[in-house]
Amino acid sequence: MKKYALVFLYTMISFIFENNLFMNNMKNILLGLGATLLLLCGCSGEPLTPIRSGELWPDNNGEHINAHGGGVLYHDGTYYWFGENKCDTTSSAMVGVMCYSSQNLTDWKNEGVALPVVDNDSSDIARGCILERPKVIYNAKTGKFVMWFHLELKGKGYAAARAGVAVSDTPTGPYRFITSGRVNPGKYPADMDEQAIATLDTLDATHYEKWWTPEWHDAVAKGLIVKRDFEGGQMSRDMTLYVDDDGKAYHIFSSEENLTLQIAELSDDYLAHSGKYVRVAPAGHNEAPAIFKKDGTYWMITSGCTGWAPNEARMFSASSILGSWTQHPNPCVGPNAELTFGGQSTYILKVDGKKDAFIFMADIWRPKHPSDARYIWLPIQFRQEGTPYVEWMDSWTLDFFDRGATN
C-alpha cells in the first residue's frame, strides 16, 4: 500500500505542475523528493538479491570477496566488511586486511587494503605473519575507527598468541598499526575470588606435564595456564569485538592454549585493555566466538578446536557480558548441522533498521586453496521461549526478517 501511495503522489505532483512555468523549480524539488521517498521505501520494484551460502560472492569487479574470518561495521548508512586477504597457496598474511562496503549487504564494493602488511621483518605485521579475525568498531567519543586482530609473528608459528590494534580516521582506512602483545599482564580475572587466586599457588605445572588427563583438565579449569601466563599476559587467538549499549567495548578471544575463552574490557578509547577480564567455559576448548544481544540477554556462538576442519557449534548465554555464562546445545539446524554446515563462526551482524534481525556469519575454510574459502550467512531465528537457532537455507533474501519467523 505504501508503494502505491507514493507512486500516486509522484504522479500528482507531475500533473499539477506540468503547465505552470512559475512553479517549475518547485516542481523539480517535489519530484526529486518523491523519487527519493520511492527509493528509501524500497519501492523500485527490483527483486532482492538472494544470499546463497557456500557459493562464490563477487564484488563490484566480479572477483570473489576476499575478507575471511571477518566482521562487519555499520556506520552512517553503510556496511563495511573487514576480513583477511587469503592468497592461493598460504594462509599467512601476504597482503593484509581488506575492506568492502555496501548499502544493502548483497552488493559489495572493494575499498582496497585497510591495513597492509609491511616489507620489514622487524615489524610485528611483517609480510608473512599470521593476521587473523580482524574486527573494527567505532568510538563515538574519539571519532576513531579501531581495529583489533589476532596476530602471530612471522616464522614463529602460533606461539606468540598476540592481540594487535590499529586505528583510522575513516572506516575504509588506511589504518595505522599501533602495537601488539599479550592481554592484561599481571592481572587476575575479575571472576576469580581470593580463594580461587590462592588455589593457583597450589598448581605446580610440573605435576601436569601430561595433557588431557582428568587431573590436568581440572587444573586448567582452576587456572593452571592463567598462572603460567600471569606475568607476560594472557594468550589471545580467535577473537571478536562487541560494543555494548553504554559504549563500553569488549575483546572476546580464545585464550589459555585455546582451552578457555576470555572477555576483556577495553579502555575508553578502545586502544588498550582496562585490566578487567573474566573467563568463560574454563577448559571447555572453544574458539571462533561470535556475540550479540537480544532483549537483555547476551548470546555467544563458538566452535570447538579442530584446526581447519569443521565441528559442532556451541552456544552460551548470560544476563551480563561479564557472566556468568550458561552453555546450550548446538544452535544449528538442518543438513550438516553437526558440522556447522561445513563452516566456522566468525561474527554476528545486526541488520540496521530491522527489529531482532541478526545474521550468523561463518567461513568455509579451504586450507589447500585459502583464497577460495567461502562464506555462510544465515538469519538467526528464535524459538517461542527466545532461544536462538540457525537453520540452513540454500537461498534467502533480507525480507526474511520482515516475516517475523519464530518457532
Whether 30 shows a pLDDT value over 60: the answer reads: no
Query: To the nearest whole percent, how much of the chain has pLDDT over 90?
Result: 87
> What residues does each domain of the chain span?
2-40, 59-181
Helix count (H) and strand count (E) of the chain? Answer: 5, 21
Q: Looking at this protein, which amino acid is placed at residue 90?
A: T
pLDDT number for residue 4: 40
Whether 272 shows a pLDDT value over 60: the answer reads: yes
- CA dist., res. 109 & res. 172, Å (int): 11
Cα angle at 19 between 14 and 24, to 5 degrees?
A: 70
- The band of 20, judged by pLDDT with boundaries at 50, 70 and 90, is very low
Whether 228 shows a pLDDT value over 60: the answer reads: yes
Which among 241, 129, 231 is positioned nearest to 183, based on CA atoms? 231
pLDDT number for residue 98: 98
Q: Are 178 and 271 in contact (CB under 8 A)?
A: yes
Query: 388-391 and 332-333 as β-strands: parallel, antiparallel, unpaired?
Result: parallel
- The band of 317, judged by pLDDT with boundaries at 50, 70 and 90, is very high
pLDDT number for residue 232: 98
pLDDT in tens, 359-394: 999 999 999 999 999 999 999 999 999 999 999 999
Q: Are 164 and 115 in contact (CB under 8 A)?
A: no
Average pLDDT, the chain: 91
Fold of the domain spanning 59-181 = Tachylectin-2; Chain A (2.115.10)
- CA dist., res. 377 & res. 363, Å (int): 9
The residue-averaged pLDDT of 33-49 equals 54
pLDDT number for residue 62: 97
pLDDT number for residue 407: 60
- The band of 23, judged by pLDDT with boundaries at 50, 70 and 90, is very low
Give the position of cell 575454510.
365
- The band of 11, judged by pLDDT with boundaries at 50, 70 and 90, is very low
Q: Are 275 and 184 in contact (CB under 8 A)?
A: yes
Query: To the nearest whole percent, how much of the chain has pLDDT over 70?
Result: 88
Query: Is the CA virtual torsion 114, 115, 120, 126 positive or negative?
Result: negative
pLDDT in tens, 156-200: 999 999 999 999 999 999 999 999 999 999 999 999 999 999 999
